[in-house]
Structure 1
Amino acid sequence: MIGLSEILNPPTGLLVSEILLISLILGMLHGATPDEHTWPITFSYAIGKYSTKGGMKAGFLFSAGFTAQRALLTTLGYIGLAAIYKEYNLDGPVYIIVGFVMAIAGSYILKGRYLHLPIDALMKHGSHEIPRDVPLRMTVVHGLIAGFGFGAYATIITFVLAPQLPSVIYAPLPGLMFGIGTMIMQIIFGAIFGNILRAKKASEEQITYVARKSAGRVLYYGGLVFMVVGALIIAFPQIDNFAISTGISIPNLDAIDVSFLLVVMTVGLIGLLSIITSFREAFKTTSQGEKGVMKRTA
């Protein structure tokens, strides 16, 4: 029986079946713990669909792109080309790119344009038109990009497990199994996130407004936060080393660091504020009897 210590610190001489099992479990741990490359994006798209089916689809599509990238990553790890991650800290550039794509998607939802300035217009309360539908196809792109982020779990499958495989033919499999494990948990969490808005009694029109508006705001403002943090890490690399230990031995839960704070800021702070603000707008419109104000744009 493989224990948690062996999963997080795999020994050498493992069978292919053991490598794949460990990779799957690592993927499930990765998907279940607060990760800055998965939770903010899955949360945003899933809540925008406000249903179990829509949330699960968001989690699946994101993880599909992520899985493809992880399969490539473990292949690079097997042939030695992933060593670039040991030489350079790519967190900053990846955060900037992920944030930029998030902001583009958020801008489209809120304003119907993939790029729109000024920023304050996105939070303007003068209009209560229902924003555009959440473009789920963007989740695949997010998954592909986010897969280039590198953390403790990626280190294990790339530099510990992949090199133990008997040939390059098997090299994509640890990444594939890791992605499937992540996908399982992201589908589950996507379903949960997607049902958050159903907890409050509201009309279908109100829920649609709140869901899309919240998703757009989280993606847009969360994307800006990602880009700012990425730029700061590039300018001041020591920021990425900040960590306060929690005493928990599981990656993503073992420390309060930049990645953990990004999850808190996007899913916790921006996500919660966006939902509250959007609910107030939707119900204020109804209570004031402003008929026809909440119009559909898509």
Structure 2
Amino acid sequence: MCCKKGVLMDLFNVHAQASVLMTLILAYSLGIVHGITPDEHTWPITFSYSIGSYSAKKGFLIGLAFSLAFSVQRALASELAYFSLISFMSKPYIDYIVYVIVGSAMVFGGLYVFRFNNVFHIHFGKIDKIHHQEALSGKYIDEKHKKTTYKMAIVHGFIAGWGFGAFALILYTVLAPSMPNAYVAWLPGFVFGLGTTTVQILAGAFFGIMGKRLSLPENVSQHIAKLTAARTLVLGGVMFALSGILGLSDPKLLSFNIVTPIKVHNLHNLNIGFFLVIAVVVGIGLSTFLIETIKYKRLYKTT
């Protein structure tokens, strides 16, 4: 009980632990907190891909694929940190570069998803006049969905892992250097990733079944799920990329920090990352899901 209490007390003001086991317990606990709290490197991707899967099982697996790739990256970075080769990641511009890369990957992922979906009615190829009229009327639903894939989630997970925040700072400056040798130096990062994985796979399963609870025909529910995923990826990706470009052009523009009394990382200091999560997941993702659900329920009541 004392040890557990000690670990919990150390989750905000973290210090080197007396043993490898305690270090790994601490890393796993931090990973769980990282997975729960709003984080721009995990939540937008997990939400987008999982809700687009339209399945608890697939959402679970997508969350797992993304988080395991994230864990591998954190393990690699943890090993580099042991040899003091990770200092470049603490540079402010690294996060902005990651924003641009992740944002671009999100946009391409979104374009893939809605290539065969009526999302903002964008065409890839010859325009069919009848299809165009039906789509503009809001009654057209294309059943030929492109699905989000595990490969896409894996790529996103590995890229996103290079973002640098409060949790990464703890991993690379406190936990990894405290390991006894290079053979186990990768473990704090990997175990931290497993903690995040624990939360993300549950979140993925939850998002994956959201579309099934709409009390709408299956093809309509699938359409809403795909539309939500596509809009979140494309518009969210644009927001990430623009934030990265803005930060690279003038870091001072995005260097604001709002301090709260909540002693939890990702909630104590609110920066651009926090507001990106809220804007993308809530502002774009959940709002699209709710608005489209209401629209189609009204449509089916009147028909």
- TM-score using structure 1 length: 0.88
Give yes or no for contact 1:8–1:156 (8 Å, CA) kept in 2. Answer: no
CA distance in 2, matches of 1:132, 1:10: 44
CA distance in 2, matches of 1:215, 1:284: 22
Distance 1:111 1:163, change over 3 A: same
CA distance in 2, matches of 1:5, 1:287: 54
Distance 1:98 1:68, change over 3 A: same
Equivalent of residue 141 in structure 2, options 120, 128, 143: 128
Aligned to 1:41: 45
Post-superposition Cα deviations, 1:50-93, rounded to whole Å, max 9, x if no partner, equal 23212211110100110110000100100000011234431111
Matches within 5 A, 1:71-86: 71-86=75-90
Mark the runs of 5 or more structure 1 residues left unpaired by the alignment.
114-118, 290-298
Equivalent of residue 290 in structure 2, options 273, 276, 279: 276
Aligned to 2:128: none
Aligned to 1:116: none
- Give the aligned residue type for 2:94: L
Aligned to 1:21: 25
Equivalent of residue 7 in structure 1, options 8, 11, 28: 11
Shift of 1:153: 0.6
Equivalent of residue 256 in structure 1, options 246, 256, 270: 270
Give yes or no for contact 1:46–1:58 (8 Å, CA) kept in 2. Answer: yes
Aligned to 1:103: 107
Percent of pairs identical after alignment? Answer: 36
Number of equivalenced pairs: 284
Shift of 1:136: 2.8
CA distance in 2, matches of 1:69, 1:241: 26
Distance 1:208 1:77, change over 3 A: same
CA distance in 2, matches of 1:100, 1:87: 21
Post-superposition Cα deviations, 1:177-222, rounded to whole Å, max 9, x if no partner, equal 0010000000111122222223321111111111111111111111
Matches within 5 A, 1:218-297: 218-279=232-293, 282-283=296-297
Aligned to 1:32: 36
Give yes or no for contact 1:209–1:282 (8 Å, CA) kept in 2. Answer: no
Shift of 1:237: 0.5
Aligned to 1:175: 189
Give yes or no for contact 1:71–1:176 (8 Å, CA) kept in 2. Answer: yes
SS of residue in 2 equivalent to 1:273: helix
What RMSD, in angstroms, separates the aligned Cα atoms of the two structures?
2.2
Shift of 1:98: 0.3
Aligned to 2:228: 214
Post-superposition Cα deviations, 1:132-178, rounded to whole Å, max 9, x if no partner, equal 22223200000000000011111111110111111111111011100
CA distance in 2, matches of 1:15, 1:21: 10
Shift of 1:44: 0.5
- Give the aligned residue type for 2:231: R
Mark the runs of 5 or more structure 2 residues left unpaired by the alignment.
124-131
Aligned to 1:59: 63
Distance 1:87 1:96, change over 3 A: closer
